[in-house]
Structure 1
Amino acid sequence: MRKKCLVLLLLVFQLQLSQAQSFTKDDGGIKATVNGTEISIRLYTPSLVRIIKSPAGKTVIKESLSVIKQPEKTAFTSKQKGDNVSLATGKIKVDLNLKTATITFTTASNLALLPEKAAGTFTSFNDAGNATYTVEQTFSLEKEEAIYGLGQQQSGKLSQRNVKLNMIQGNTDDYVPFFVSTKGYGLFWDNYSPTAFEDKPEGTSFKSDVGDCIDYYFMYGGNIDGTIACMRDLTGQVPMFPLWTYGFWQSKERYKTQDELVGVVKKYRELGVPLDGIIQDWQYWGNNYLWNAMDFLNPEFPNPRKMIGDIHDQHAHLAISIWNSFGPHTLQYREMEPKKMLLNFETWPQSGLEKWPPDMNYPSGVKPYDPYNPEARAIYWKYLKKGLFSLGIDAWWMDSSEPDHLSFKPSDLDEKTYLGSFRKVRNAFPLMTVGGVAQNQRQTSSDKRVYILTRSAFAGQQRYGSNTWSGDVNSSWQSLRNQIPAGLNFTLTGIPYWNSDIGGFFAGAYNRSWNDGSGARNPLFQELYTRWAQFGAFTPMMRSHGTDVPREIYQFGKKGEPVYDAIEKAIHLRYLLLPYIYSTAWTVTNQQSSFMRALAMDFNDKNVQDINNEYMFGKSILVAPIVKAQYTPETIVKTDAESGWNKKDSKDPSKNNIVDFTQTRTTEVYLPGGTSWYDFWTNQQIQGGETGLQNTTLDMIPLYVKAGSILPIGPDVQYATEKKWDELTFRIYKGADGTFTLYEDENDNYNYEKGAFTTISFNWDNTRKTLTIGDRNGSFNGMLNERKFRFVIAKPGVGMGMSNGQAEKEITYSGKKVVIKF
């Protein structure tokens, strides 16, 4: 009996020893092998952990394209209880089940966050001759949990529950495999191949075509802002953009001569309508065989240096179209082709001839380049610098950065890149090509901040000074409705700069359906364009662009006419808000904030979790764009972003009819609970938590300011830097305590990174009705040493709209603390 007991005790001891040795611990985390799967749990910060899973015995060496952060030395504890191993920091706890190989994430106080539903699967896959895997991981989300992000889609959905996405970059869909939860955590699936994301009652999964391992990051920020801060800590912070880029941009497809381009700027100056940016679209290089030559070879642009000088002399800036492919007659093509730096699949343009539709008897021979190759990126910049940057071009419009992939064949993904098959790295194409331009420009000069307008993006692209637009979307009301959730979900991936073509890109049906052939005078398009412009005024970039119908303000009429005046009012409002916008940009750079904010980011109100037609612009202004036609019938225009313009006529029931744009209309708005609000136009105070009807006119969309806000109003200017902010009016919206920090710097260089900037804090004590203006912090060349500040208390029944109202207090501020009692 005694001998049997000793044997039993020995077996128990051996079993315990076996369990104790089933995982290993080092300074960075723990590792274990479970059921043939090697699992690594690596801490990057107390709130951020990386999970790597791979088949046992397979060596995995992976350098992330998105992640630039190195793991911090992080204190943690680990313990084993039965089949469970726990790793805990002061913020999160990670539990690994040594029997099922599943992982569960909780807060340090054991609040459930996210469990894996299964261990993860590895299915053998032949990737262009390389033996690898298709990888999948499934998680379990709570039924009431909302998630956001995953990039930009044109579905009109905000919450990404119960969706299925085929994540491969396209013209109007940008995919970033990262989502945030209303529970305060985020998950980044670090894979660049085509990926299926699916959320259904049975589980939430990522499944990628190619992966040597399952590789994802879990982060807990406590709320959505905190989680986005974790994502930027992991993949890169956001630089400041030049002040002028927050002004109004005019563009179209395309200005055909340099005189036409310069003439647009001149016309805006004559009309007194503010303008800061003008964009030159494609074919300034000449024919399609010279596609993207990055040189002015078109005879209609005979003196580009003078053209750029003429634009600069009018205090405007020029962005120019560059692409990610090259025609066979270009110098870039001829240098890259022998070095196998071009990808062999069909891209835009298909034909060497410019007529539409493409004549495939004359194929263009245009090929995308391989941006994964550092030498190819250097060659790209060499010609860009020589042909355009040296002339004084201010910004880049990087079109087709996904890139265009026409007549898609699965075998195209077998194309070899510097980093393996195109399939393996497909979705990171925009990150690599935008990064190549940004990094090379920074190395060349720090006098001009990098500014890249791009059509596609991937995780980490926020670090490269880029602003992504939503692609060649339709000119329709449904398309306008789709832009709001598209922009919000894009922002919720941690990439804060986004915009869309004001008016939508494809507008030909409005042109052909109108009596004089001028879509800009078609009331259907006029109403849509006006509402889109008002929405655009509250995005990080206000940019007018499209085809078929010209978009310059003077095409829509003249001063004194409702449509013209409404468009002009939206542009002027944008400029009045520049001190608020630029200061918000600093919070994005310095405090990991966001411009466009889904209401769930700021309000603990379940009613707002899936509101897809309202958002906060910065922390103070709620924007409720008009996204349904109020004066004309809605005409849904169907186009194909891949194949081009809609050439069919559409029946226009308002053709030849006069539309009265002066009438007042109403729209429904929900204001989040937990705070009170002020109507921006009338100062009417409204308690949140209810849906109400709001009166609107053609020149006015619903705007609300949150109680406790301090809103700076800038001078009336024709371009962003025309006047210094030596006299600013601050509107104080009482009802709650509030703060605001005014940020200023040298406007267009990187000296702010060396500390050349100032901040002035404003603090409103609602109980004492006292405003405290703090000492000015910092300094920079050209800083105002003394200025006037005017203060207006927003009062119900006393409307201000775009006026400043009657100042209750006015002071001269010289950089020292001031306390003002109201």
Structure 2
Amino acid sequence: LPIDLIVIDFFHWPLQGEWKFDPTYWPDPDAMVQELKDMNIELMVSIWPTVDRRCENYEEMVEKGLLIRCDRGTRISLDFEGNTVHFDATNSESRAYVWNKAKQNYFSKGIKTFWLDEAEPEYSIYHFDNWRYWQGSNVSIGNIYPKEYARAFYEGQEAEGQKNIVNLLRCAWAGSQKYGALVWSGDIASSWYSLKNQFAAGLNMGMAGISWWTTDIGGFHGGNPDDEAFRELFTRWFQYGAFCPVMRLHGDREPHQPQHGTTGGATCLSGAPNEVWSYGPEVYEICKKYMKIREDMRDYTRSLMKEAHENGSPVIRPIFYDFPKDKKAWSIEDQHMYGPKYLVAPILNPGQRKRTVYLPAGATWKALDGDGVFNGGREIEVDCPMETMPVFVKQ
């Protein structure tokens, strides 16, 4: 199976705000990074913007004014796995401080890609009028936080001479794409309703100018790999994910695993296995099929990313984007184009084994699965057994 990158998720650190590997569980990260590079696998690490009041950097960051403030009450913005305050991404000195910690503990080891989580930022209580940033009140400028968070790492990596910088973020704002932001849709439910929402969200993000977008295949919250109903949802989501700007499998599966250790992030339990072979042999074969399809499209996908970089063109887009003169194309809400070549008709309902597909006028279309060739400007009904999602190639 092809693999480009492995992710080390959150709470690999001793405490939030220390931005380093916990030596209890990661005794030799340099050797780990090198071993992965020898296999041509890059490593991404999770970054959180939260700073635990117990951590080694808290007092210094308070003294230097590098944390967000509140107008009233106790300065605790999030109480997940500790009482924490977010670093102030709107303050250039704070951005530099956090990047330098990441540079020292990650970048210097060869880690060049970062997962910038909690980018909204997430608060325990959303009293927006209470929080104050270096550049102003949350009410007046709060939406720029994810953009400035992305900027902290982008500018740091750029200063080190890195090219083609891409980091994964959970939130974005107008201009985030300037700072190499690959945005995913957050901690979503593992449900058919959520899958439908992702389909719409991805298209809207692209049309809003943020072309690099992805979703947690299978959803994030819940889902048991041994549950046949969830396996169907996972399969359909995986097929759709093969034709998203970035194909990415992630989720907090059930049941959670036993606790290992007692320090650092030990109490934040891992979910059940979520690899493609965790869903039984039938689903595994389908996953292999769509991973191969994705791999075969590698050069094509890179050309779409290049076009997005140069022109702001969405990688996935509504049908009308490529067929503006086709009136019916403007009303199609359950299909999308993957670049100008592939027409994708995902399966968004449980138990669905047939669906209607509209083929836009002005082109001839060939089924990706099978030998059927069809003239455009009409609807056709196609079979869609579990192993197949309807995709048509523009001739």
After TM superposition, the score normalised by the length of structure 2 is: 0.90
C-alpha distance in structure 1 between counterparts of 2:326 and 2:108, whole Å:
52
Structure 1 unmatched ranges of 5 or more: 1-272, 353-363, 511-518, 632-664, 708-822
The one-letter code sitting in structure 2 at the alignment partner of 1:614 is Q
**Amino acid across the alignment from 1:680:** L
Decide which of 338, 341, 360 is 1:617's aligned counterpart: 338
Query: Residue 309 and residue 488 in structure 1: after superposition, are their counterparts in 2 closer, same or farther (change >3 A)?
Result: same
Partner of 2:305: 585
1:697 paired with 2:385, answer yes
Match of 1:651 in 2: none
The alpha-carbon deviation at position 365 of structure 1 amounts to 2.4
SS of the aligned residue for 1:296 comes to coil
Task: Show CA shifts across 1:28-55 (max 9, x none).
Answer: xxxxxxxxxxxxxxxxxxxxxxxxxxxx
Separation in 2, partners of 1:452, 1:533: 22
Pairing partner for 1:419 from 97, 120, 135: 135
Structure 1 CA distance, aligned partners of 2:18 and 2:197? 35
The aligned residue for residue 730 of structure 1 is none
Partner in structure 2 of residue 453 of structure 1 = 168
> Residue 542 of structure 1 aligns to a residue in which SS?
coil
When residues 685 and 351 of structure 1 are mapped into structure 2, their CA distance, relative to the original with a 3 A threshold, is: closer
8 Å contact kept, 1:452–1:465: yes
Measure, in 1, the Cα distance between the counterparts of 2:304 and 2:356: 28
Q: Is the 8 A contact 2:211 2:315 kept in 1?
A: yes
Q: CA deviation at 1:307?
A: 1.5
Q: Does residue 1:567 correspond to 2:278, yes or no?
A: no
Change (3 A) 1:521 1:539: same
Which of 189, 204, 207 aligns to 1:492? It is 207
Kindly tell me: are residues 283 and 585 of structure 1, through their superposed partners in 2, closer, same or farther at Cα, counting changes over 3 Å?
Answer: same
Correspondence 1:471 to 2:186:
yes
Aligned to 2:242: 537
Equivalent position to 1:394, from 112, 126, 139: 112
Deviation at 1:696, TM superposition (A): 1.6
Task: Give 1 or 2: higher strand fraction.
Answer: 1
Q: Distance in 1 between matches of 2:247 and 2:152?
A: 25
The residue correspondences of 1:134-145 to structure 2 (distance < 5 A) are: none
Q: Is the 8 A contact 1:455 1:470 kept in 2?
A: yes
Once residues 365 and 476 of structure 1 are traced to their aligned partners in structure 2, the CA distance between those partners, rounded to angstroms, is 32
Residues 1:546 and 2:251 are matched in the alignment: yes
Computing the radius of gyration from Cα coordinates, the structure with the larger value is 1
Distance 2:338 2:57 in 1: 42
| Contact 2:196-2:348 at 8 Å conserved across structures | yes
- Tell me, yes or no, if structure 1 residue 282 matches structure 2 residue 7: no
2:112 pairs with 1:384: no
SS at match of 1:567: helix
> In the alignment, is the contact (CA less than 8 A) between 1:599 and 1:614 conserved in 2?
yes
| Contact residue 496 and residue 595 of structure 1 kept, 8 A | yes
Report the Cα distance in structure 2 between the residues aligned to 1:339 and 1:576, rounded to whole angstroms.
Answer: 51
1-structure distance, mates of 2:59, 2:382:
60
User: Is the CA contact (8 Å cut-off) linking 2:343 and 2:394 kept in structure 1?
Assistant: yes
Which string of whole-angstrom CA distances, capped at 9 and with x for unpartnered residues, describes residues 585-636 of structure 1? Answer: 22222343221111121112232224222111011111111111127xxxxx
* Contact 1:595–1:618 under 8 Å retained in 2: yes
Correspondences of 1:52-71 after superposition (within 5 Å):
none
Distance 2:109 2:62 in 1: 27
For the residue of structure 1 that corresponds to 2:393, the secondary structure is strand
- 2:48 corresponds in structure 1 to 323
In structure 2, how many angstroms separate the alpha carbons of the residues matched to 1:593 and 1:376? 33
- SS of the aligned residue for 1:548 comes to coil
Residue deviations 1:528-582 (CA, integer Å, cap 9, x gap): 111111111111111100002421012122xxx3211001111111101111111
Give me the whole-angstrom Cα distance separating, in 2, the residues matched to 1:403 and 1:671.
Answer: 42
TM alignment of 1:329-728, pairs within 5 A: 329-344=54-69, 346-348=76-78, 350-352=79-81, 364-413=82-131, 415=132, 417-446=133-162, 448-507=163-222, 510=223, 519-549=224-254, 550-557=273-280, 561-603=281-323, 604-630=325-351, 665-707=353-395
CA shift, 1:465, in A, is 1.2
Mapped partners of 2:52, 2:161: distance in 1: 29
Deviations 1:156-204 (A, max 9, x none): xxxxxxxxxxxxxxxxxxxxxxxxxxxxxxxxxxxxxxxxxxxxxxxxx
2:34 is the counterpart of 1:306? no
SS at match of 1:692: strand
Tell me whether 1:291 sits opposite 2:48 in the alignment.
Answer: no
Q: What's the offset of the Cα at 1:285?
A: 0.5
Contact 2:17/2:58, CA 8 A, preserved across alignment: no
Q: Secondary structure at the match of 2:31?
A: helix
TM-score (norm 1): 0.44
Cα distance, 1:383–1:671 mapped onto 2, change above 3 Å: same
**Contact kept? 2:188, 2:221, Cα under 8 Å:** yes
Q: CA deviation at 1:298?
A: 4.9
Distance in 2, Cα, partners of 1:449 & 1:602: 27
Kindly state the Cα deviation for residue 379 of structure 1 after the two structures are TM-superposed: 0.5
Aligned residue identity for 1:474: A
* Equivalent-residue separation in structure 1 for 2:277 and 2:332 (angstroms): 35
For residue 383 of structure 2, give the secondary structure of its aligned residue in structure 1.
strand
Instruction: Kindly provide the amino acid, as one letter, of the partner of residue 691 in structure 1.
Output: E
CA RMSD in angstroms comes to 1.7
How far apart are the structure 2 equivalents of 1:333 and 1:367? 9
Aligned length: 371
C-alpha displacement at 1:297, in angstroms? 1.8
Moved over 6 A (4+): none
Contact 1:694/1:702 (<8 A) preserved: yes
Alignment of structure 1 residues 220-239 onto 2, 5 Å? none
Question: Any idea what SS the aligned residue of 1:284 has?
Answer: coil
Equivalent residues of 2:359, 2:377 under 8 A apart: yes
C-alpha distance in 2 between matches for 1:403 and 1:673: 44
Kindly provide the CA deviation profile for residues 716-757 of structure 1, in whole angstroms up to 9, marking residues without a partner as x. xxxxxxxxxxxxxxxxxxxxxxxxxxxxxxxxxxxxxxxxxx
How far apart are the structure 2 equivalents of 1:411 and 1:589? 36
8 Å contact from structure 1 (residues 401, 454) kept in 2: yes
1:298/1:474 CA distance change after superposition, 3 Å: farther
- Partners of 2:106 and 2:54 lie apart in 1 by 18
- Cα offsets for 1:245-287 (capped at 9, x unmatched): xxxxxxxxxxxxxxxxxxxxxxxxxxxx11111111111103x
Structure 2 residues not aligned, in runs of 5+: 70-74, 255-272
- 3-state DSSP of counterpart to 2:248: strand
2:117 alignment partner AA: D
1:332 and 1:379 in contact (8 A); partners too: no
How far off its partner does 1:410 sit?
A: 4.4
Q: CA deviation at 1:328?
A: 1.9
Q: Is contact 2:129–2:137 with CA below 8 Å preserved after alignment?
A: no
Q: Distance in 1 between matches of 2:116 and 2:370?
A: 41
Provide the C-alpha distance between the structure 2 equivalents of 1:401 and 1:309, rounded to a whole number of angstroms.
Answer: 29
Structure 2 letter corresponding to 1:467: L
